[in-house]
Amino acid sequence: MLDALRIATVLVGGLMAISSAWSMGACPPVGWTPAALSQLKVAQWSVSNPKHREELALALLPCLADPDPQLRDGIAFEALSFWLRQKQMSVDAQRSIFSALLKQLEANSLDEGGFAAPFAVLTLAEIARADRVTPFLGDSGRNILVNTATQYMRGVYDYRGFVEGQGWRHGVAHGADLLMQLALNPAIDKAQLESLVEAALMQVVPAAGHFYIYGESERLARPILVAARRGLIDAEWWRRSLTRLGEPRPFAAWDQAFGSQAGLARLHNTKAFVLVLYANVRDNTHEGLRDALLAPVREVLEKLP
């Protein structure tokens, strides 16, 4: 196992290479091997020198797009999540990570594997959480993050979840995680909350007759439940937004859904989402949550076959 001294030595020897690696998008970073990164994971991501830790965090960002699930998910994301949750990143480092992730999303069209955007968004959820715990983005940065989250969610058309040998993409679920972390933030206002909710509802029924099978409906429900608990959105808005889920469009009636894969997928995904909401609201003691969601959720359930 690499101890803190060995880790620092490796970093000191490769600081210039690490900076260059980020600009070239190298993964693993120059000066590191997958084995050394795995040893760092065993050492619980212990890097005693804050500057070296932050250099490595930035250098690991390209690994969020790597086709190797161990480098992408098990190393890069886990390391970044750990350092952010343990408050081991300075404000400047967190802002740098935020900016780099936005650029990664902008370059998403260049990612043939389809990993970069979902994992950039999942890491942005950790940035959103860190900003909620100790604010550093400011109103303008937070507004950029809200807009990024909603635009991303509205634009997801790759519905691959887990693929053997490739690991997770899970774009909808990761987008929902970012929406939830933002909805939890008391600095997010009513209009922003409504935008977050609408983005989540856009993906309740995915395009092209896809059936959710990897827990997407549960993840989509989380930002809805969090937003309802905030108590900023009035009951009538919730009723209008949620009762639309009970409409069978493009079918004239739900009975017609049983005649096609697209119809069955629409019914399957709608039921899964609404039942998750109902299970979380029916016996909940939070009055604001029940007042906002229980009646419209019941109304939708009554419309579904």
**pLDDT, tens only, 159-198:** 999 999 999 999 999 999 999 999 999 999 999 999 999 9
Tens digit of pLDDT for each residue in 225-259?
999 999 999 999 999 999 999 999 889 999 999 99
- Look at residue 6 in the predicted model and tell me its pLDDT: 41
State the Cα–Cα distance between residues 295 and 298, nearest whole angstrom. 5
- What token pair was written down for 19? 């900076």
Q: Does the pLDDT at position 15 exceed 70?
A: no
Task: Tell me the pLDDT tens digit for each residue of 61-73.
Answer: 999 999 999 999 9
pLDDT for 109 equals 60
Query: Residue 7: its pLDDT value, please?
Result: 38
Q: Is there a contact between 223 and 196 (Cβ–Cβ < 8 Å)?
A: yes
Taking only the tens place, the pLDDT of each residue in 261-274 is: 999 999 999 999 99
pLDDT at 8: 39
R_g of the chain, CA atoms, integer Å:
21
pLDDT of residue 23 exceeding 60, the answer is: no
Q: Note the pTM of the prediction, 2 decimals.
A: 0.91
